[in-house]
Structure 1
Amino acid sequence: MVASLEKTIRVVVVDDHTLFAEGTVSLLSSEPYISVVGTAKNGSDCLKLVKTKYPDVVLLDINLPDFSGTDLIEKIKGIAPQVKIIMLTGQSPEGYVNASLNKGANGFLLKDCTKSEMTAAILQVSRSSGQCYFSQNMAPYLRSVIVGEEMRTNTIESKKISGTLLTPKEQEIIELIAQGLRNKEIAAALEIKNRTVDFHVSNILSKLDAKSRLEAVLIYTKNQGIGDRIS
């Protein structure tokens, strides 16, 4: 996989807990395709690093001494719109997901995630167009977000889909996405090839005019009422 990457992914870690930040840097230092180019303990230092270090990905703690992480998203995007932002939280993210996504976040990681999950998240958001990454343990929170009123934004409400727009297989796949499964897990569950799932997901995003997997789920959920079937 490493050989297929075009360049090293430049990462900035933003967290006011020194032990967590240093641990994250140590974990990522062993990955040949990831380079941590800076760490920051607050939002002001984060913005300076974004201006000077040109990161591809920012790992951003939700709670900082001088900024809310959600408020900092827009400031980062204002400096470098192409930067991908993965939110970090050690608490229930339920109240932050909607605001963060609306402001441009590209993923969420719980701080108790594994090294492999963190590296997978960085790789996915930096190399994929429009795909968000969510910790596997976030499925219960995503269920609340998907069926909750706080995620019914005007953009999502204005999009309507017909019952026949998605094929039966695509409907099956999007419902598995809504349960928090990733493409490899969907392929295993349906006993089909990974590239077949990739093909279907691409078609789903195109048909629903969605920029991300989560937006596709939200659009589909609102129109098809699958909330009660999401576990």
Structure 2
Amino acid sequence: MSFFAKFFDRHTTLAYNAEQAGFSRNVFYGCTHLFGQSRFAEYRDLKLLSLSVNSRLSLFMQQQKEAIARVEKQQKEIVGRIDGFEQRLLACILFICYTHQENGRRLDEFEQRINRRIDDVERRIDGVERQIDGVEQRINRRIDDVEQRINRVEELVNGAADLITLQDQDITNQQQDIENLRALIGVLGHRLLGLMDHLHLGNNVAAGGGGVAVVEGGEGAVEGGGEPVVEGGQEPDDEEQLGNGLIE
């Protein structure tokens, strides 16, 4: 029972008890009311008033009970809504936690995949670098081989050039020797012809034509035939002609 219901019930009971006591006293002493009514009529009016008040109080209490029931119902509804909100909030929190964990797991997996991809790319780059190093080494070896071959070819070319130069020098020397030999043979032949003419054995030579053999400075040149003539008006000696020819 609410506070108001208890308050009205208590005061109504006290008023009823007071009225009962006054009614008994007034009836016993035979007093009348101010308006000429008896105490019994006043009691009856008060009784009706108290019944009216009690009925209204009962109605008010019923309304209060209904209001309290509605308030309690609303409170229950509010509590239910709060519980539902708490449940939804808890579900949201759990979902957020789950999604956070799931996102964290996915991020970890993504990072692991990225790390694996990076490791694969690094291994491939290392393989490519090793291949490039191998190609560079092979190219360097090829270049070294080519340089060695070029050096050998240059050495061969230089040797061939030196050999050709030596051969040219030998050919030049041989040609000079041949020319010297020809000159010597010519001089010897001229000296021999002069010697034959000097020994009066040049009849066959004289038959070829009446030429004159001229000897200049120890070198003779025979044109046609005839006796050799030494410039200066002197006839050369046989031994002198032979010595000059040998010296040359």
Flag whether TM exceeds 0.5 (same fold). no
Higher relative contact order (CA 8 A, sep 6+): 1
Higher helix share: 2
Give the TM bin, normalised by the shorter chain. under 0.3
> Which has the larger Rg?
2
Q: Return the TM-score normalized by structure 1.
A: 0.16
Q: Return the TM-score normalized by structure 2.
A: 0.15
